[in-house]
Structure 1
Amino acid sequence: MRTTRLIAVAASLLATAVLLGAPTAGAQPDTTRVPAGVVMPANCPSIPPDRDLDVTTTVHQVGLDLGVSDTVMLSGFETGWVESHMNNLPCGDRDSLGVFQQRPSQGWGTPAEIMDVRHASTSYFTRAINSERNHPAYSAAQIAWDVQRSCCPQAYADAQAKAQSLLAEVAGSGTVDGVGGARAFKWGDQQLIFSRGTDGALHHWYWIPGEGTRSDSWGGTVVGEPTGFAYGNQEHVFARGPNNTLLHWWWIDDGSGLHFADWGGEAYGDPTAFVWNGQQHIFAKNAAGQLFHWFWDPTDLQVHTVTWSGAPGAFVGGLSSFAYKNQQHVVARGPNNTLYHWWWDQATGQVTFADWGGQAYSDPTAFVWNGQQHIFAKNAAGQLFHWFWDPTDHQVHTVTWSGAPGTFVGTPFGYSFGNQQHVVARGPNNTLYHWWWDQATGQVTFADWGGQAYGDPVAFVYGDQQQIFATSARNTLYHWWWTPQEGGQQNDWGGNAS
């Protein structure tokens, strides 16, 4: 494995690590601190008896953004309930504040940062990820106490049932942004979309509740389409540069704003990216047509690179990827129009390759739904071909999703929405083709959503809404969205999209 030290990246991320909860020098575990949810401190007039749903939703989404394990996620909810009944408290024992009752004097940040639920959650999960790595046999409660070091370690274990019920309440509210590699994703309550502009630079659109849509340029020179993800209080975007290296932009919600670095390596195709276990993982095709892999690890603040081998020939086109439990998965179109599939397993530390066959006449799209792995691509007839792997029988199944009146164009994009699986693509008349499968009926439905799709669409789930974007005929960003209250709607976000 070749390791590259990127000084600019490391320096900025080191500063970020401090902001996200690295202990200050000399800070000691405070095992006398009393969680507010256990014994109400004198300076708190009251502790709400129930959770604040906005707080639990934010904590959950940050955990998803950081790719935490189920154990770490549960530890966050046990901690939140024990410390504050999942409320953003402006008071606590001594100088403790917020949902996790973090103390400025113990290196958790400024009072304002601790009272920012997203920042506080990122701080908690950053330490919890490291705790799990150092102690892989720890339970959620043990991780919680290892991070918090309060007076009452048993309280976290006693809160397990309550934490599980709180998790169940918000389980459908979050989205694992960037699964499959996406240039559109949710960050906090904002909607973010990135695209290469007609000027070759990276362009950025964002929608903020109550403020509407804005757009700007993040600069640089981009080849192809970017990909990105939310990472705690940060936004990350990657793209292929003009010299076939990996370009990286990231924006931090700490006042430092936008950062940029060239991660080097070999990017001879559009990248795909995801977050797994606190690490940032990016893949692209190298000069030999093999799978090139970059990953940034928060434990050493370094970018590592390695080539994933095993495929009998060079793959074609772009990639899709996803995290699946303790595994990392990447799929691509093989030279004979079959589906190439690589996966790395944490238990073995090895990469495995398999040719899943079928018909892949376009770049694939992939996502996880209900423990299953789902991949879609265009078949030889221009219809939607579907592979899925089911953990109940450990078999790969294939089927064609029909219903479209004509062959679709380009690369489809898939996502899960509650008990449904959705795929969108560009139709032959530059309208939006949309298929969805519903678990209740077991049937696939097709609809032409119209509008202007002059480029491959991307989509994500925003609460109970579906948000879909593509380039319009005027090289602006065209937008479809669906809500259960109002159904489907469309508008044009303007800007500069190639």
Structure 2
Amino acid sequence: MKPCHVPPTHDPEVIKTVYRTGLRLKVSAKVMLAGFEAGWVESQMNNLPCGDRDSLGVFQQRPSQGWGTPEQIMNVSYAAEQFFVRAVRAERRFPTLTPGLTAQEVQRSAFPSRYDQQEAKARALLDEAARSVGEPGPRPESRVSVGVPSVVDTGKGMVVFGVDPAGGVTHRWQSGAGGAWSAWTPLGRPAPGAVGRPFPLVGRYGKLVVFVRGADGALWHTWQSEEGAWAPDWAPLGGRLASDPAVVLSPNGALSVFARDPGGRLTHTWQHGPEQGHRWNPTWADMEGNLQGRPTALIGRDGGMVVFTQGTDGQLHHRWQTGTGGPWSAWTPLGGRISDDPAVVLNPSGDLSVFALGPGGHVTHTWQRGAGHGHAWNPTWVDMGGDLGRHTAGVP
């Protein structure tokens, strides 16, 4: 890879040209945002004359891969049209994908989650371009969620949460296990607006708690009282988040939150135990690491928390507690070659199993080998095949 200087900020003319091209092609709001997410990730919205191998331009398109001649690719209008035409096809084929995953269908990056991670920055650039051009962009389609919805089973029925186009959180629920569904009902809006994917879970009273990342980068949450009434307002918990949160409920009834910070390290806050009234810790702890995407957290067989993440080296890494509230291990690699957030389950035998997206869109898998082997991790990963190209999910 030859040296390639990427300016620290965007080129105003580039964002206007990309925006005008999207308007001319009458792309949807999602495809327009996908273009800005891809442009920021690939070049910070600059028309680069260099890149990895023969990659060029705003979207780092390669002449050797059929994107056009070098001269064509260095024409921002041409490059944007090539991106948008392919993104429109992806949207028609996979209408439920997020803007970032729509961009991934075009770009075919080794790191599929990185486009959605830049949604807030892309929206800011999109707003700037619209103001500069003086023409409003495509309006968002009438839809409930701008990201991947989240679902939780309370034991009395399922509840689905999503983020609406205005940054509010909305939900609908079943009247009972297997029962009828309610209408979509707003759950309020964190002051700066919500982004990404809500994280709901059942708390210590058997009532729901919902966490979401705000557009300000802080963590926000709301909760049901013991009587089932929702809190009147969303409450901030601070922090500097660059990923959606992962939350676990410990055996002592305390909640713990993990996320990736802007520096690519794991950041963590928690409730103290019942002896301190389950109050939230006033600060966030730096748990180090070199992360991509969103961490995955769960409670292990001894009641301690275990956190897994995709490292910047493309391998799986993890840390764990020894028992509830116990000391944390150092970061330990588990190998593999993964390109997305891991999905992890705890089996009835007390063993952990990990699934992730591997090279070529295959699912790759590793696991602990049972009490007879001291719950040691399998020394290799198994290719489970498939042609996913998108997120995996594990269900115990």
TM-score category of the 2 structures, normalised to the smaller one: 0.5 to 0.7
Q: Is the 8 A contact 2:210 2:222 kept in 1?
A: yes
1:366 maps to a residue whose letter is V
Equivalent in 182, 187, 196 of residue 317 of structure 1: 196
Secondary structure of 1:443's partner?
Answer: coil
| CA 1:302–1:265: 2 relative to 1, 3 Å | farther
User: Which residue among 283, 299, 308 is the counterpart of 1:416?
Assistant: 299
Match of 1:491 among 355, 361, 382: 382
Query: Structure 1 residue 401: deviation in Å?
Result: 5.0
Partner of 2:361: 475
Work out whether residues 308 and 351 of structure 1, in 8 Å CA contact, stay in contact via their aligned partners in 2.
Answer: no
Give the Cα–Cα distance (whole angstroms) in 2 for the partners of residues 383 and 446 of structure 1. Answer: 11
Give the Cα separation in 2 of the matches to 1:402 and 1:388: 13
Amino acid in structure 1 at the alignment position of 2:209: H
Number of residue-to-residue matches in the alignment: 244
Q: TM-score, normalization: structure 1?
A: 0.46
Quote the Cα distance in structure 1 between the aligned partners of 2:329 and 2:227: 36
Contact residue 482 and residue 488 of structure 1 kept, 8 A: yes
2:154 maps to which residue?
276
- Partner Cα distance (1:288, 1:461) in 2: 37
Question: Shift in Å at residue 270 of structure 1?
Answer: 0.7
In 2, the alpha carbon distance for the partners of 1:485 and 1:496 equals 34
RMSD, aligned CA: 2.7
Match of 1:439 among 303, 320, 323: 323
Q: Greater share of helix residues, 1 or 2? A: 2
Deviation at 1:472, TM superposition (A): 0.5
**Structure 1 stretches of 5 or more lacking a match?**
1-198, 202-218, 227-263
CA contact (8 A) 1:265 1:305 kept: no
In the TM superposition, residue 378 of structure 1 has moved relative to its aligned partner by: 1.0
CA deviations 1:271-300 (Å, max 9, x no partner) are: 111111411011111111110102122285
Quick one: distance in 2 between partners of 1:306 and 1:420?
36
Alignment of 1:360-371 (within 5 A): 360-370=241-251, 371=253
- Determine which of 172, 176, 182 is the counterpart of 1:303: 182
Greater length-normalized contact order (CA 8 Å, ≥ 6 residues apart): 1
1:466 match: 352
2:108 — aligned with what?
none
Q: Find the aligned partners of 2:185 and 2:154 in 1 and give their Cα distance.
A: 16
Q: Which residue of 2 aligns with 1:267?
A: 145
The 2-side partners of 1:221 and 1:429 are apart by 31
Which letter maps to 2:250? W
Alignment partners' CA distance in 1, 2:216 and 2:288: 26
Contact 1:289 1:314 in 2 (8 A): yes
Aligned amino acid, residue 368 of structure 2? W
Contact 1:383 1:401 in 2 (8 A): yes
Counterpart code for 1:332: V
Q: How far apart are the structure 2 equivalents of 1:465 and 1:401?
A: 28
Rounded to whole Å, the distance in 1 between the matches of 2:90 and 2:255 is: 34
TM-score norm. by structure 2 comes to 0.57
1:420 is displaced (CA, Å) by 1.6
1:392 to 254, 272, 275: 275
Please tell me the residue identity of whatever aligns with 1:491.
V
Q: Residue 392 of structure 1: CA displacement?
A: 3.0
8 A contact 1:362–1:378 mirrored in 2: yes
Partner of 1:429: 313
Pair 1:350-2:230 in alignment:
yes
Displacement, 1:342? 1.5
Call closer, same or farther: CA 1:291–1:403 in 2, change over 3 Å: closer
Is contact 2:266–2:288 with CA below 8 Å preserved after alignment?
A: no
- Which one has the bigger strand percentage? 1
Q: Is the 8 A contact 1:412 1:425 kept in 2?
A: yes
Question: Secondary structure, in 3 states, of the residue corresponding to 1:470?
Answer: strand
Match among 147, 151, 166 for residue 288 of structure 1? 166
CA contact (8 A) 1:401 1:444 kept: no
**Which consecutive residues of structure 2, in runs of 5 or more, have no partner in the other structure?**
1-88, 102-141, 390-396
Deviation of 1:310 after TM superposition, in Å, equals 4.7
| Gap change, CA 1:470 and 1:421, over 3 Å in 2 | same
Q: Whole-Å Cα distance in 1 between the matches of residues 322 and 347 of structure 2?
A: 19
Q: How does 1:76-115 map to 2 (within 5 A)?
A: none
Q: Deviations over 1:252-272 (max 9, x none)?
A: xxxxxxxxxxxx960111111
Counterpart in 1 of 2:212? Answer: 332
Q: Is the 8 A contact 1:389 1:395 kept in 2?
A: yes
Please name the residue that 2:7 is paired with.
none
Structure 1 residues 265 and 279: alpha-carbon distance in aligned structure 2, compared to 1, 3 A threshold: farther
- Which residue of the partner structure matches residue 265 of structure 2? 383
Whole-Å separation in 2 of the counterparts to 1:465 and 1:287: 40
Deviation at 1:443, TM superposition (A): 2.6
Percent of aligned pairs with the same residue? 19
SS of residue in 2 equivalent to 1:392: helix
The answer (yes or no) to whether the contact 2:268–2:285 under 8 Å persists in 1 is: yes
Q: Which amino acid aligns with 1:492?
A: D
The CA distance in 2 between the partners of 1:445 and 1:455, in whole Å, is 22
Q: CA deviation at 1:402?
A: 3.1
* Contact 2:207-2:228 within 8 A present in 1 as well: no
Distance 2:94 2:150 in 1: 19
- CA drift of 1:465 comes to 1.0
In 1, Cα distance between equivalents of 2:261 and 2:359? 26
| Superposed structure 1 runs of 4+ greater than 6 Å apart | none
